Chains A and B, each alone.
Chain A
Amino acid sequence: MKKTDICTIEQSKIILNNEIIFESQTKNFSEFSKEAYKSLALNYPKFHKMDNLSKLAFLASEMILKNDDHSKTALVFANKSSSLDTDFKYQESINSQENYFPSPAVFVYTLPNICVGEISIKHKMQTENAFFVIDEFDEEFLNNYSAQILQSGKAEKVLCGWVELYQESYNAFVYLLTL
């Protein structure tokens, strides 16, 4: 298998194929993602409705998918903290009887695979997708699973990603695989 493009996002930096394409002074993820969105002229208003995990996965994927044809690109993503960042926020909205305001717009992001859905929607990718939760980044596992998808002919490429985020601690490592 060939690994073509690689995008890393950590410590307020977006790096595509070893080149820094955006960096910011802010340590706050929400600020950072907003600045990146503007600076990279992404022009996709749905971005602002996403939770932080989806924003992270979306930004990293955008750098690689660009405007190319991805009608045969599968998505295989994984992380450690699942959707706990948004789970925690949602739980706060139902913790007390006095301030009981469960919101469907927040609740929908309490699943880790929503970020894969967001990427699929942006690029109209009606393709194989999977989300795994493992305790640490395991490239061999993601590649083995992706190899099966490629060898069975279910996709021609696989966008693989480790997208980990909880509060201000985040890191994304997203790459494109072909046979």
Chain B
Amino acid sequence: MRKEVYITDYNCVTPLGFDVSSNWNALLEGKSGVALHKIIENQAPFYASVIDTEKLSEEFNRNFDYQDFTRLEKMFLLSLKPLIERHPISGETAFILSTTKGNISLLKNQTILPEGVFLSHLAQKIADFFGFKTKPIVVSNACVSGVMAIAVAKNMIQAGKYKDAFVVAGDEISEFVISGFNSFQAIGTEVCKPYDKNRDGINIGEATAAVYITSKPNQNGKFSFRVLGDSAINDANHISGPSRTGDGLFASIKNAMTEAEVSTEQIDFISAHGTATIYNDEMEAIAFNRMELQNVPLNSMKGYYGHCLGASGLLESIISMESALNNILIPSKNFKETGTSQPLNIIKKNQPAVIKYILKTASGFGGCNAAIVLEKC
């Protein structure tokens, strides 16, 4: 009998708010963080979901005295603080940080590497601030990192190595990332439209998200979500192009559902990746259809938050749990007309629903995919 693992608390810091309830209320009103922003000097602005730096500083100053942190680190600290106040850290508590690029902005015009660009240094700095006793673990698997971080926590707790875990995920907007995706011609010319016929690329976003994962469910009437299954299978196809067959995503979902012992009919809601590039969304539609999940209500949160890279999977998991707790499905923003060769049941407006089993997926560069199954307890 394997140990049960539960998510019992979470928080997030995004352009829509610095806690979960302000994010949830903004989503119910259909608000989006995506807007035109000047990010690179001498270049036209890009559509991106950006946190207001001034508001972030004010919020940080209200919560912390010590100031020697980068902008991204401040976002990490703000997302973690309320969880740490509610759950004690022990010698058997893991600290798992998910990011793709960390403090990459510090690299600009440097001739030697500043310490802060090392992901392990970033993680240790945050771990030391809060007094974690175990060595931090950084998950860096491109855009599936945030989903995978939940799986890593589950697996390490099941292995008996830790009793509980704080999982935090974050990435910020940088010239590095925007210029790179732009060189791929992957950035949308307008607000992104996942799965829509007129989609033409991603909007980059930024956020941090944190969850508390433990082997003990909440007893005090607060929520618990059991992490039932996980998998992360590679497409073994191309390092930057999505698979034409959806093999890796299909296998990840299949494995995660097998481990969860949950059937297709039982899945109530899919929080998909949906970046709004032509090929990614098409690949997902193929994979979901191969799994016969095409009738399950599905959304992508990218129209609200953009693509927050290593943070997206964890942030979107939190929003999907919030959906389940509020019994409301949130629409896939900016979707109008089917734009994939195979059908999906894309959520078009706020609608009431009973949600017990959630499937969360993600896919990324390097051919990586990840899927987890969550159960509302």
Q: Is A130 an interface residue (CB 8 A)?
A: yes
Residue among B232, B235, B237, B367 with the highest chain A CB neighbour number at 10 A: B367
How would residues 23 to 38 of chain A score, 1 for a CB under 8 Å from any chain B CB and 0 otherwise? 0000000000000000
Other-chain contact of A118, B148, B182, B239 (Cβ < 8 Å): B239
Q: Is B44 an interface residue (CB 8 A)?
A: no
Q: Which of A2-10, A11-19, A61-69, A89-97 contacts B (4 or more CB under 8 A)?
A: A89-97
Other-chain contact of B255, A90, A144, A154 (Cβ < 8 Å): A154
Q: Is B222 an interface residue (CB 8 A)?
A: no
Contact between A144 and B159, CB atoms less than 8 A apart: yes
Contact between B148 and A130, CB atoms less than 8 A apart: yes
Number of residue pairs A-B, CB distance < 8 angstroms: 159
Other-chain contact of B367, A120, A131, A132 (Cβ < 8 Å): A120
Q: Is B176 an interface residue (CB 8 A)?
A: yes
B259 neighbours in A (Cβ, 8 Å): 152, 154
Contact between A120 and B156, CB atoms less than 8 A apart: no
Query: How close is A61's CB to chain B, nearest CB, in angstroms?
Result: 13
Other-chain contact of B158, A95, A103, A107, A148 (Cβ < 8 Å): A148
Known contacts A80-B118, A84-B118, A134-B137; A113 and B235 CB within 8 A of each other: no
Report the bound CA distance from A152 to B239 in whole Å.
Answer: 27
Q: Is B109 an interface residue (CB 8 A)?
A: yes
Q: Is the interface of A mostly helix, strand, loop or mixed?
A: mixed
Q: Is A121 an interface residue (CB 8 A)?
A: yes
Known contacts A94-B176, A144-B159; A131 and B140 CB within 8 A of each other: yes
Q: Is B366 an interface residue (CB 8 A)?
A: yes
Contact between A107 and B180, CB atoms less than 8 A apart: yes
Contact between B234 and A133, CB atoms less than 8 A apart: no
Which residues of A from 45 to 88 have beta carbons under 8 Å from B? Answer: 75, 80-82, 84, 87-88
How would residues 144 to 166 of chain A score, 1 for a CB under 8 Å from any chain B CB and 0 otherwise? 11011100101000000000001
Closest A residue to B113 by beta carbon equals A84
Q: Is B107 an interface residue (CB 8 A)?
A: yes
Report the bound CA distance from A94 to B180 in whole Å.
Answer: 10
How would residues 96 to 118 of chain A score, 1 for a CB under 8 Å from any chain B CB and 0 otherwise? 01000011100110111110111
Size band of the interface chain A makes with B: 35 or more
Report the bound CA distance from A97 to B124 in whole Å.
Answer: 34
Known contacts A114-B366, A117-B368; A128 and B239 CB within 8 A of each other: no
Report the bound CA distance from A132 to B140 in whole Å.
Answer: 6
Q: Is B37 an interface residue (CB 8 A)?
A: no
Which residues of B from 340 to 377 have beta carbons under 8 Å from A? Answer: 364-368
B107 neighbours in A (Cβ, 8 Å): 87-88, 91
Q: Is A44 an interface residue (CB 8 A)?
A: no
B155 neighbours in A (Cβ, 8 Å): 145, 148-149, 152
Closest A residue to B180 by beta carbon equals A107
Q: Which 7 residue pairs across A and B have the least CB separation, nearest first?
A: A117-B366, A107-B180, A135-B120, A133-B138, A120-B234, A120-B236, A148-B155
- Residues of B at the A interface (CB closer than 8 Å) are 41-42, 100-102, 104, 107-110, 113, 117-121, 123-124, 135, 137-142, 148, 152, 155-156, 158-159, 161, 175-176, 179-184, 231-240, 247-248, 251, 255, 259, 364-368
Extra pairs beyond A107-B179, A130-B141 (7, CB < 8 Å): A91-B108, A102-B179, A104-B183, A117-B365, A120-B234, A132-B140, A166-B113
- Residues of A at the B interface (CB closer than 8 Å) are 75, 80-82, 84, 87-88, 90-91, 94-95, 97, 102-104, 107-108, 110-114, 116-118, 120-121, 123-135, 138, 141, 144-145, 147-149, 152, 154, 166
